[in-house]
Amino acid sequence: MANRFSLELAQRPRRLRRTASLRAMVEETVLRPSDFIAPLFVVEGKAPPDEIKSMPGVFRLNIADLVKECRALHKLGVPAVALFPKLDPSLKDDIGTQALNEDTLVLRAVRAVKKAVPDLTVITDVALDPYTSHGHDGVLTTARDDVENDRTVEILGRMAVLQARAGVDMVAPSDMMDGRVGAIRRALDAEGFTGTGILAYSAKFNSAYYGPFRDAVGSAQAAGTRLLSKATYQMNPANRREAITEVMLDDAEGADILMVKPAGLYLDIIRDVREATRKPVAAYQISGEYAQIQAAARLGWLDLARCRNESLIAIKRAGADLILTYFAKDMATLLGR
Ligand code: PBG
């Protein structure tokens, strides 16, 4: 005789949540160390690791320490790193001259890492913001109110060739200029770097959550005065269809991996992109996403490990094959190989 409270349901989804082993058996999304790409910041000199205030646990590393970190990440099964240089302000100018110096910081870092850990995939950013005094991703028009697309793209092509020559496996244009993926592909091929890949920041939104990163590389202030707005090149956060337009352009121009950035607030975009292309999709859990989890955890308001894990599962579940995240090392440590 059925319990008088029994609903006599044919479907009881809770049956598969009853025990830990049942829950594991029906788990749909699983993270593994090879899902992650670790963004790393490199500085000149020999100073000890310098923690970024708004990014607890993330450090600016000199080249020797960067190499050590890369070795550790490789051992943990993290397949790739994305390198970002923090230049001394005295080396910055209006047109980002240092970006085309073949001995600039990031290129020396690439050579050191590739020599020490050849199997680790090394990715470098192609954009002028670490090199310009105004912090924009390209050169400004004479009116100084906008970034000049085609002149910037020409510089980015040359920058990518220098990075390829230094030994990177992939270049990652993060500037959002029109036509830069195709131009970079042609520039690389013309120099014989047909095997150097392009990880394109295809749908990169004009996000307020980049703040901690701009502190990290010192691109936050627009020559002291102007407010730094990248609204004329980065996408409007309100636009969903436009993200697909951007992604399909980069796909057609020859990008090997297509990226959405930021990640956590743009899960719908990640899903749309996953459905629009057959190529691998990456998502960048950016500095502000990391900072807000860290900050709430420090206040005792959220559980760090659980929020970290959930934020990353959500990004993968949305459709990302790869995730750039400042939690890469922690996750690889947690997950094992
Ligand atoms: C710019 C660049 C940015 C990030 C990576 N490359 C920020 C920006 O557009 O100012 C942000 C990464 C992060 O916030 O973690 N080329």
6 part of a folded domain: no
Is the CB of residue 289 below 6 angstroms from any atom belonging to ligand 1? no
Q: Is 114 a catalytic residue?
A: no
Q: Is the pLDDT of residue 167 over 90?
A: yes
Is the CB of residue 92 below 6 angstroms from any atom belonging to ligand 1? no
pLDDT mean over 317-331:
98
pLDDT mean over 108-135:
97
pLDDT at 5: 86
Is the CB of residue 68 below 6 angstroms from any atom belonging to ligand 1? no
pLDDT at 144: 73
Q: Is 86 a catalytic residue?
A: no
Lowest mean pLDDT of 101-115, 192-206, 214-228, name the range: 214-228
300 part of a folded domain: yes
pLDDT at 217: 82
24 part of a folded domain: no
* pLDDT grade for 2, boundaries at 50, 70 and 90: low
Q: Are 188 and 160 in contact (CB under 8 A)?
A: yes
Cα 8 to ligand 1 centroid, rounded to whole Å: 55
Phi-psi region of 310 (alpha: psi -120 to 50; beta: other; left: phi over 0): alpha
Is the CB of residue 230 below 6 angstroms from any atom belonging to ligand 1? yes
Strands 36-43 and 59-61, how do they pair? parallel
Phi-psi region of 141 (alpha: psi -120 to 50; beta: other; left: phi over 0): beta
299 part of a folded domain: yes
Of residues 202, 182, 200, the one with CA closest to residue 247: 202
Of residues 80, 128, 125, 86, the one with CA closest to residue 261: 125
Nearest CA, atom 7, ligand 1: 210
Cα 9 to ligand 1 centroid, rounded to whole Å: 51
Lowest mean pLDDT of 22-26, 131-135, 278-282, name the range: 131-135
Structural element, H or E, at residue 123: strand 121-126
Task: Give me the number of domains the chain comprises.
Answer: 1
pLDDT mean over 202-227:
78
The whole domain housing 229 covers 29-335
pLDDT at 119: 98
Angle between helices 304-318 and 328-335 (to 10 degrees): 90
242 part of a folded domain: yes
Is the CB of residue 213 below 6 angstroms from any atom belonging to ligand 1? yes
Nearest CA, atom 8, ligand 1: 210
Cα 3 to ligand 1 centroid, rounded to whole Å: 59
Cα 59 to ligand 1 centroid, rounded to whole Å: 16
Is the CB of residue 124 below 6 angstroms from any atom belonging to ligand 1? no
Query: Rg of the Cα trace of the chain?
Result: 21
Lowest mean pLDDT of 17-26, 224-233, 258-267, 319-328, name the range: 224-233
Q: Read off the pTM.
A: 0.95
Q: Is the pLDDT of residue 225 over 50?
A: no
Q: Is the pLDDT of residue 131 over 90?
A: yes
* pLDDT grade for 227, boundaries at 50, 70 and 90: low
11 part of a folded domain: no
CATH number assigned to the domain comprising residue 51:
3.20.20.70
Amino acid present at 279: K
* pLDDT grade for 1, boundaries at 50, 70 and 90: low
The active-site residue, picked from 86, 114, 204, 316, is: 204
What value does the mean pLDDT of the chain take?
95
241 part of a folded domain: yes
123 part of a folded domain: yes
The DSSP bridge partners found for residue 258 are: 200, 281
pLDDT mean over 150-165:
97
pLDDT mean over 126-147:
90
Alpha helices in the chain (DSSP H): 20-25, 63-76, 105-116, 149-166, 180-190, 211-217, 241-253, 267-276, 287-298, 304-318, 328-335
pLDDT at 226: 52
